[in-house]
Structures are given as C-alpha cells and as structure tokens.
C-alpha cells in the first residue's frame, strides 16, 4: 500500500468514503470503551431495559432488510424466473453484508462476545435465541457460498465458479429454509413476553407475521438498493424487472393485513385499536405506512413504472415495516415498573439510546455501505452471469 | 400445576403484614453471598406511607428471584446457563453465560441483573438469588429467612407453605387479600406472598396461570418438523418447476435452443 501512495501522491478518495471511514473510526473507539468499562459506559441499557437500540436496529432491522437475499434466491433458483438474474447478486451481497453487520453488532452487545461460539456447542433446545443464532451462523455460510461465484468470476476462476454452480441448489434450498426459520423466529423471540408486550403486538402468530412482512421488506430493499446504486454508480436501472417484482407487493401486504386483523378479531383485541393512546397511534402508523399506503402505491402501475414512484413506494414500506420491528422489540414492551420495587439507585425505567450507543450502529452501517461500494467497484456485481 | 414436582419443591413464604422494612435480609444476603450492596439480590419494595394521620398505612415487600416452577429464564437461555435443582432453586452458571440478556427479557418479574459496569477483563455476568443452596444442603434456611426478625420470611416445603398461607387467610380474612400470590402465577412460583394491600401495589405483575414460556416452547417444538417439511416442499417445487420448464421447452421447436446460448446454461 505504501508504495502505491508514494507513486500516486494525489490519491483521490471520494468524500463519501472519508465520511464512512470516520464513522467507522468513531464506532471502533466507542466499542473499545465498552470493552474496557462495560456496556453501561456507552449505553443507557439498564436492568429494566436489557435490550434497546442495538437489538431493535442492528438485529431486528438488520435481519429484516437482509431478506432480499432469500427472496431473490427463491425467485431465481426455486421458481426459476431467470429474468430476475440481474437482481440476484446485489441482493445476495446485501444479505451477506447485512448478516455480517448483525454479527459485528452482537459482538458489541453481548456481555461475553468471546463466547459467541458457545451457541454452537451448548444447546438449550427450548431457546428461540439459540435457533436464531444457529440459523444466522449457518445462513452466513450459505450466503458466502451463494456469493462466491461473483468473486470467482471476478478473478476469472471459471472452473471454481462452475463447480459452485453445479451444486448450488441444495444450498439455495437450505438458505431459504434457514431464512424462513430465523425471519419468523425473530418474532418468536418475543413470544416469551406475553405479560410485557402490549396486547396489540403479542400474538402466538408473531412468527407468521414476521415472515410475511420479511418478504415485503425483501422486495422493497431490492427496489431501494437498485435505485440507489443505479444513481450512485451511474448504471442503468432495471426498471422493467423492478416493476414486475413490485407487482407481488400488494399480494404480500394484503395477506399480511388479512392475517393480522383476523388474528386481532379472533382474539378479541379490536377494542385496543382505538383505546390504547400512544400504542394505538404506533399501531396505526406502522399499519398505514408499512402496509396500507405501500399496498395502494404498488397497485398503481403508474407508480411502479416511474423510477421515482417505485423508489418512494419502497422507502415508505421500509419505514413502516422498520417501525413495526421497533414497536415489537422496544416501543410496545412494557417492563415491570421498578419505581415501585427497586431501590432508587436502580430505578432507571426510562431508556433513551445514547449518542455513543447509536454511533456504534451507525459505524457498522457505514462499514456495510463501504463494503457494498467496494464490491460494486471491484467485483462483477451488476453483470449478467456468463459461462 | 404439576403437583408431584411441587411437593418436593422448597419455597419461601412472605407475609407483607409482618414485614417491618428493616432490610436485615438485604444485609444477610449480601454477607452470605459476598454481594456488593449496590448489586443486591434482594430489594425491599415499598408503597411508602399511605393515608392521613392518624389512619396511616404502609406496606413493604421483600423481592428476589421467584424460583418459578417453570422458569422462563431457563427456557430462554440459548446456552443453557440456567438450571433448576430438584428441590426448586433456579441456578445460574456464569461459566456458560454469553451475556445476551435474553433471560432478563424473559423473566416476567424482572429479576436477573447484569453487570453493566464491568468490561471484558472483569467479566460482566448475570446475578440473581440462588435460594442459598449451600445453606439448604447444610439443613439451614436461606440467609434472608434466617435473619428475618419478625418471621415475615419463612422457608419450607412449598405444599406446606401454601396450606399455611391459606390457613392464615382463613384465620384473618379481614387482614389479608384473599389470594396467595405465587400459588398459580406463571405456573406457580416458589416464592409465595401474602399481603394486606393489592399485589400490584407491591410491584408484582398480574400473570396468568399459564407459564409465559408456553407458546414459545410450543413454537420451538414444531421448528424441526417444520424445517424438514418446508425443505421437502421447496425441493418439490424446484423439481416441479424444472420439469414444467423442460416440457415447455421441448414443446417449442429446437431452434429456440439453437439460437440462444443464455437460457439453457446451468440447468444441467
């Protein structure tokens, strides 16, 4: 590296890259402080709020927006709709980077990051978290395999690329199964809190709702990242493909709404819809922004056929569905009120993520964006496969 | 719930009408288990003074691990750091803990506590009441019980204590709320509570008889069969689509194949 710098003294680095590197640097320093002085030194997490911003953003949102990978893998390999091939590689990369980011975030959030591998050998089979841990670790491997042909193509290792291709199907199916399991299990993670989660959100079918919404999030993410990267990397937008993909969204969201409201009706929770104050507001916001509005937008061919229209529709969906993940994992969780039973030194029922806490997530996110940029620049990410 | 199991279980009985808020139990626990006071395993809840002089009333409650019959912490822990002894105590093994804090989320009582002030070198762990198994094995009562000056805390066989609690309510129905908290809550706990004020005022959550773990464990139970079935279905779909596409391809003339190199690439 030094040699290169010496030969090209006017090394030009895009300003965005500098910003990303600075953000990563800040996150690194903050993480070091956390490793030295404890999680309390950088975050507002407490006895009452053992999980906060990191879990809602890095784990729940991170895994959800990684769902594009399995949606595309299923579309291209299982349903063999080969026309969608150009969208496959970027979405697999997003998934791969997304899950790497989840793991990095967990290395900050876990009390004992050096023991993360204990999940591979000490199994408590009743734990939903164990299932998620194992699925995520295995799925990371699968994603790496699914992505490896891109690297091989880039290096012109055609034999290796060919080899992976011949045996890719079992891995694709395994990947879709693992995705189904852990996308839904993120919902199951909260099933153990029937007394803490607000009734509008706690339902035995949380895993089903999580899975259906993950599909819609996956499609929206593919549209989102294609739009952004087409602008940033000055390449053509696969609008006809995105338009076709977008046609699926109203069906997915329609199913989501039907399942969700049927469940609320059956369990007699409809009165909560309008009588829960801020909880009702949160519920209607996530339903409107995450499902109803995108359902309408994606149903209109005028919106789907416009680059801006389909982009906005995808962003709206993402906002609403991410709010849903925050609601379920944070906003609607009612912790026991320690004011009534904790000595004052411990009563800290309020939780507001601190700046250092959020800077860790931001830094990890910056890492993801930088990696995507590098891959887009140095790997045949947006090229069609050719053998 | 499971009667045979609970008969063997040891339990605490706490009578809020007897507690004088002296907090000797906190001290005793701290000394016995070598716990710093700011990381106490016991905390005394209080509603403070209520009413107008001279009709004053106060209530306090000693709060520590409820040692549930069906412990949610044990069910939630991914690496099995929690265990339950045959005689009831729910124990935590810090050598397995990865620090995920899922047990804190799972526990409906908010009992497990985490060392937020410890870095990697000191090691941050969960802590909670152990029911003093070292003393039980020595035929002694847990430290908090042994030190309680008013017998607000008592220790014994769970079944006996439930009987005793109901006898006390029957003897003084005017004094007690007619319910033994912990007899059925969350499937039963080994910490039983009698009170003269509503239990919510003591900071105790309203819980069903069904353990909070029921649905999540049921879902975990069907996970493997579901995964296998789902994998089989997806394999079936893949093969089905492939066969269908081939048929369609064959139906067309071969010149489609001759013209284009793209579509047929890797399917074979």
Contact yes or no for A120/A134 (Cβ under 8 A): yes
pLDDT-derived band at A9, boundaries 50, 70, 90: very low
**By percentage, how much of chain B surpasses pLDDT 90?**
68
* pLDDT (0 to 100) of residue A343: 40
Q: Within a domain: residue A386? A: no
Strand stretches in A205-344, DSSP E: none
CB contact under 8 Å between B265 and A78, yes or no, is no
**Range among A24-33, A234-243, B246-255 with highest mean pLDDT value:** A24-33
Query: What average pLDDT does range A136-147 have in this prediction?
Result: 93
Q: Does A263 touch chain B (CB under 8 A)?
A: no
* pLDDT (0 to 100) of residue B50: 76
Q: Which chain B residues in 249-268 lie under 8 Å from chain A, judged by CB atoms?
A: 263, 265-267
CA distance A67 to chain B (A): 17
Average model confidence (pLDDT) for chain B?
A: 88
Q: Does B243 touch chain A (CB under 8 A)?
A: no
* pLDDT (0 to 100) of residue A340: 44
Query: What average pLDDT does range A29-33 have in this prediction?
Result: 95
* pLDDT (0 to 100) of residue A251: 97
* pLDDT (0 to 100) of residue A154: 79
Is the bond preceding B54 in cis, omega lying within 30 degrees of 0?
Answer: yes
Q: Which residue has the higher pLDDT, A268 or A165?
A: A268
In this complex, which of B119, B203, B205 lies closest to A38 when CB atoms are compared? B119
In this complex, which of B100, B108, B113 lies closest to A129 when CB atoms are compared? B100
**pLDDT higher than threshold 60 for residue A11:** no
Strand B10-15 relative to strand B43-50: parallel, antiparallel, unpaired?
A: unpaired
Contact yes or no for A356/A30 (Cβ under 8 A): yes
pLDDT-derived band at B260, boundaries 50, 70, 90: low
Name the token pair of A360: 């860790």
Q: Within a domain: residue A47? A: no
Q: Within a domain: residue A341? A: no
Instruction: Give the ranges where B14-127 is alpha helix by DSSP (H).
Output: 24-33, 72-76, 102-106
A43-83 residue pLDDT tens: 988 888 889 899 999 999 999 999 999 999 999 999 999 89
**pLDDT higher than threshold 70 for residue A385:** no
CB contact under 8 Å between A191 and B208, yes or no, is no
* pLDDT (0 to 100) of residue B54: 84
**By percentage, how much of chain B surpasses pLDDT 70?**
90
CB contact under 8 Å between A50 and B241, yes or no, is no
Q: How many Å apart are CA A191 and CA A207, to the nearest integer?
A: 9
Ranking A226-230, A239-243, B68-72 by mean pLDDT, the lowest is: A226-230
CB contact under 8 Å between A39 and B104, yes or no, is no
**By percentage, how much of chain A surpasses pLDDT 70?**
91
CB contact under 8 Å between B97 and A129, yes or no, is no
Which of B114, B208, B31 has the alpha carbon at shortest distance from A112? B114
Q: Within a domain: residue A274? A: yes
Q: How many Å apart are CA B211 and CA B108, to the nearest integer?
A: 10
Contact residues, chain B, for A37 at CB < 8 Å: 117, 119
ipTM given for this complex: 0.88
* pLDDT (0 to 100) of residue A337: 54
A151-195 residue pLDDT tens: 888 788 888 888 888 888 999 999 999 999 999 999 999 999 998
B61-117 residue pLDDT tens: 888 999 999 999 999 999 999 999 999 999 999 999 999 999 999 999 888 989 999
How many structural domains does chain A have? 1
**pLDDT higher than threshold 80 for residue B163:** yes
DSSP A78-91: IS--GGGHHHHHHH
Q: Within a domain: residue A112? A: yes
CA distance B139 to chain A (A): 31
pLDDT-derived band at A16, boundaries 50, 70, 90: confident
**pLDDT higher than threshold 70 for residue A91:** yes
* pLDDT (0 to 100) of residue A202: 93
In this complex, which of A37, A195, A337 lies closest to B119 when CB atoms are compared? A37
Residues 6+ apart with CB under 8 A from B205: A195, A336, B108, B109
Phi/psi of residue A207, nearest 5 degrees: -60, -40
Q: Within a domain: residue A340? A: no
pLDDT-derived band at A349, boundaries 50, 70, 90: low
Contact residues, chain B, for A50 at CB < 8 Å: 101, 104-105, 114
Q: Which domain holds residue A214?
A: 15-39+52-334+360-378
Residue of chain B whose alpha carbon sits nearest to that of A130 = B78
Contact yes or no for B116/B124 (Cβ under 8 A): yes
Three-class SS of B146-200: HHCCCCCEEEEEHHHHHHHHHHHHHHCCCCCCCCCECCCHHHCECEEEECCCCHH
Q: Within a domain: residue A45? A: no
**By percentage, how much of chain A surpasses pLDDT 90?**
67
Contact yes or no for B242/A80 (Cβ under 8 A): yes
Residues 6+ apart with CB under 8 A from A146: A69, A73, A92, A96, A168, A171, A172, A175
B23-61 residue pLDDT tens: 899 999 999 999 988 788 888 877 667 778 888 888 888
Question: Chain B interface, mutation test: which of A82, A111, A183, most B Cβ atoms within 10 Å?
Answer: A111
Using alpha carbons, list the distances in angstroms from residue B196 to A255, B58, B60, B174: 50, 10, 10, 9
pLDDT-derived band at A235, boundaries 50, 70, 90: confident
Q: Does A123 touch chain B (CB under 8 A)?
A: yes
**pLDDT higher than threshold 70 for residue A8:** no
CB contact under 8 Å between A111 and B125, yes or no, is yes
CB contact under 8 Å between A38 and B118, yes or no, is yes
Residues 6+ apart with CB under 8 A from A11: A4, A5
Using alpha carbons, list the distances in angstroms from residue A242 to A237, A249, A250, A310, B262: 9, 11, 14, 8, 21
Q: Within a domain: residue A205? A: yes
CB contact under 8 Å between A173 and B114, yes or no, is no
Name the token pair of A256: 């989501």
3 state DSSP class of B97: coil
CA distance A17 to chain B (A): 31
CB contact under 8 Å between B119 and A192, yes or no, is no
pLDDT-derived band at A2, boundaries 50, 70, 90: very low
* pLDDT (0 to 100) of residue B203: 79
From the CB of residue B260, how many other CB atoms can be counted at a distance below 10 Å? 10
Question: In CATH, what number is assigned to the domain containing residue A243?
Answer: 1.20.1630.10
* pLDDT (0 to 100) of residue B179: 95
Contact residues, chain B, for A79 at CB < 8 Å: 237, 241
């Amino acid at each position: 590296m030094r040699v290169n710098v010496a030969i090209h003294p006017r090394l030009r680095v895009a300003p965005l890259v500098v910003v990303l590197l600075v953000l990563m640097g800040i996150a690194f320093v903050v993480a070091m402080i956390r490793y030295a002085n404890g999680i309390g030194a950088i975050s507002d997490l407490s006895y009452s709020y053992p999980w906060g911003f990191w879990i809602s953003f890095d784990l729940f949102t991170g895994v959800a927006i990684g769902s594009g990978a399995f949606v595309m893998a299923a579309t291209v390999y299982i349903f063999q709709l080969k026309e969608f091939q150009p969208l496959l590689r970027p979405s697999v990369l997003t998934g791969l980077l997304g899950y790497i980011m989840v793991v990095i975030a967990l290395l900050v959030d876990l009390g004992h990051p050096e023991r993360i591998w204990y999940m591979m050998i000490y199994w408590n089979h009743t734990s939903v978290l164990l299932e998620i841990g194992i699925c995520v670790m295995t799925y990371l491997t699968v994603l790496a395999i699914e992505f490896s042909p891109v690297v091989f193509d880039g290096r012109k290792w055609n034999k290796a690329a060919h080899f992976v291709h011949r045996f890719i199907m079992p891995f694709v199916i395994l990947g879709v199964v693992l995705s189904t399991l852990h996308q839904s299990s993120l919902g199951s993670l909260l099933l153990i809190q029937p007394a803490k989660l607000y009734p509008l959100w706690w339902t035995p079918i949380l895993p089903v709702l999580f899975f259906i919404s993950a599909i819609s999030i996956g499609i929206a993410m593919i549209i989102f990242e294609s739009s952004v990267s087409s602008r940033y990397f000055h390449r053509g937008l696969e609008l006809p493909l995105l338009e076709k993909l977008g046609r699926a969204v109203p069906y997915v969201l329609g199913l989501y709404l039907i399942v969700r409201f049927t469940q609320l009706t059956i369990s007699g929770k409809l009165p909560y819809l309008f009588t829960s104050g801020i909880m009702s507001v949160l519920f209607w916001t996530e339903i409107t922004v995450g499902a109803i509005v995108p359902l309408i937008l994606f149903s209109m061919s005028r919106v789907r056929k416009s680059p801006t229209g389909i982009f906005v529709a995808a962003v709206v969906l993402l906002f609403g569905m991410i709010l849903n993940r925050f609601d379920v994992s944070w906003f609607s969780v009612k912790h026991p009120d320690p004011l009534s039973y904790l000595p004052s030194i411990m009563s800290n029922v309020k939780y507001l993520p601190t700046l250092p806490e959020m800077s860790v997530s931001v830094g990890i996110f910056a890492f993801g964006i930088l990696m995507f940029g590098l891959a887009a620049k140095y790997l045949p990410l947006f090229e069609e496969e050719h053998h | 719930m499971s009667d045979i199991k609970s008969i063997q279980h040891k339990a605490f009985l706490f009578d809020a009408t007897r507690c004088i808020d002296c907090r000797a139990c906190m001290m005793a626990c701290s000394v016995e288990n070598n716990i710093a006071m700011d990381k106490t395993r016991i905390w005394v809840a209080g509603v403070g003074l209520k009413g107008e002089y001279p009709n004053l009333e106060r209530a306090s409650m000693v709060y520590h691990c409820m040692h549930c019959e069906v412990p949610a912490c044990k069910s939630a822990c991914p690496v099995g750091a929690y265990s339950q002894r045959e005689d009831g105590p729910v124990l935590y093994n810090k050598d397995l803990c990865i620090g995920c804090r899922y047990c804190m989320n799972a526990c409906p009582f908010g009992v497990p506590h985490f060392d937020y002030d410890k870095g990697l070198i000191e090691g941050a762990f969960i802590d909670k009441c152990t029911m003093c198994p070292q003393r039980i094995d020595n035929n002694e009562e847990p430290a908090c019980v042994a030190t309680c000056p008013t017998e607000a805390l008592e220790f014994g066989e769970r079944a006996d204590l439930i009987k005793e609690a109901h006898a006390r309510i029957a003897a003084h129905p005017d004094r007690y709320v007619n319910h033994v908290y912990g007899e059925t809550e969350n499937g039963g706990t080994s910490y039983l509570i009698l009170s003269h004020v509503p239990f919510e005022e003591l900071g105790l959550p309203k819980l069903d008889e069904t353990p909070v773990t029921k649905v999540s464990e049921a879902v975990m139970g069907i996970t493997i069969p579901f995964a296998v079935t789902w994998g089989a279905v997806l394999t079936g779909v893949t093969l089905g689509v492939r066969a269908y596409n081939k048929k369609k391809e064959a139906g067309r003339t071969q010149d489609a194949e001759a013209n284009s190199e793209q579509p047929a690439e890797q399917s074979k």
